[in-house]
Amino acid sequence: MMKANLKKIMAAALIAAMAFLMAACGGDDQDGEEGGNVPTYTAVTEATFPPFDTVDEDGNVIGFDMDLMNAIAEDQGFKVTYTDMEFDSLIPAVQAGNADMITAGMNAEDEARREKVDFSDTYYDSGLVVVVKEDNETITGIDDLTADMKVASQIGTTGADSVNGLFNDGKIKEAVILNGFDTCMLQLINGDVSAVIIDKPVAQAYINKQADKVKMVGETLNAESYGFAVQKGNTELLDKINAGLKNMKENGTYDKLVEKWFN
Ligand code: GLN
């Protein structure tokens, strides 16, 4: 009788201790643990870059990058939440440990960036193009930009590097560096700037929606490849991303997502 009671008390104590431990783990966001022991990572993006990164009518961050990362996450047993911020804040956020990763159509082949964060294997080949108003007959490529023109791009991007370079070389009147690509396009349509330098797939998506407003001119200016970024040395997360990305390419999910977002 005594023995049975003691056992019961001990079992109850054990259950209480376990419940306490589980609650402690569940509440510990710093470790990225959530119910069921699935780690949740925080991703940052800049959501004026459709079809890679945009927002739906309810303000949720959506796009090719999110679908691809969510598929990788499911494959590798983690979850991701997405936060929209300005493009030039993305790397500092990950460097400071305020976010676990960048999912932002970010060119991984940029030396300055590679010194600050670690990039995954690349997942999309891209390049910059010059975009002008549909009725513009004078600018047929980057060499037609002249010292009386203003040219826009987005802060912190390779497009902004290009526009700043043109300005520093005295080839254009002003480098108009704006927070969002949506604003760059509006300034172009309004006639505030003569051209925008932007990533080709994003320009193409814009033209697909507003064919009568803007057009791409000239050759593609460079070659870039997008990668996901993590804090320097975070091999644990980087290995999961690379393994999941490889699996998504092999099992057809990657191609399905390209089909969904790029046609
Ligand atoms: N591909 C460009 C870059 O890496 C722009 C990316 C973006 O605006 N999301 O700088």
Q: How far is CA 81 from CA 44, 45, 124, 202, 215, in A?
A: 8, 11, 22, 23, 35
Please give the radius of gyration of the chain, using alpha carbons only, rounded to the nearest integer: 24
263 residues of the chain, pLDDT tens digit each:
455 565 565 555 555 555 555 554 444 444 444 456 899 999 999 999 999 999 999 999 999 999 999 999 999 999 999 999 999 999 999 999 999 999 999 999 999 999 999 999 999 999 999 999 999 999 999 999 999 999 999 999 999 999 999 999 999 999 999 999 999 999 999 999 999 999 999 999 999 998 899 999 999 999 999 999 999 999 999 999 999 999 999 999 999 999 999 98
- Report which of 87, 102, 83 is spatially closest to residue 48, judged by C-alpha positions: 87
153 lines ligand 1 (CB under 6 A): no
45 lines ligand 1 (CB under 6 A): no
The DSSP call for residue 6 is H
How far from chain centre, in Å, is Cα 24?
A: 32
pLDDT at 48: 97
Question: 90 and 140 in contact (C-beta within 8 Å)?
Answer: no
49 lines ligand 1 (CB under 6 A): yes
pLDDT at 8: 60
Go through 52-80 and write b for each residue having 16 or more CB atoms within 10 A of its CB, e for each that does not: bbbbeeeeebbbbbbbbbbbbbebbebeb
CA of 164 to the centre of ligand 1 (A): 15
pLDDT at 6: 57
Name beta bridge partners: 227.
106
Name beta bridge partners: 133.
214
Helix (H, G, I), strand (E, B) or coil at 10: helix
Question: What pTM, to 2 d.p., does this model score?
Answer: 0.86
With a CB cutoff of 8 Å and minimum separation 6, the contacts of 47 are 53, 54, 55, 61, 63, 84
pLDDT at 32: 45
pLDDT at 11: 59
β-strand pairing of 101-107 with 40-45: parallel
Which residue puts its alpha carbon closest to atom 10 of ligand 1? Answer: 157
Helix (H, G, I), strand (E, B) or coil at 180: coil
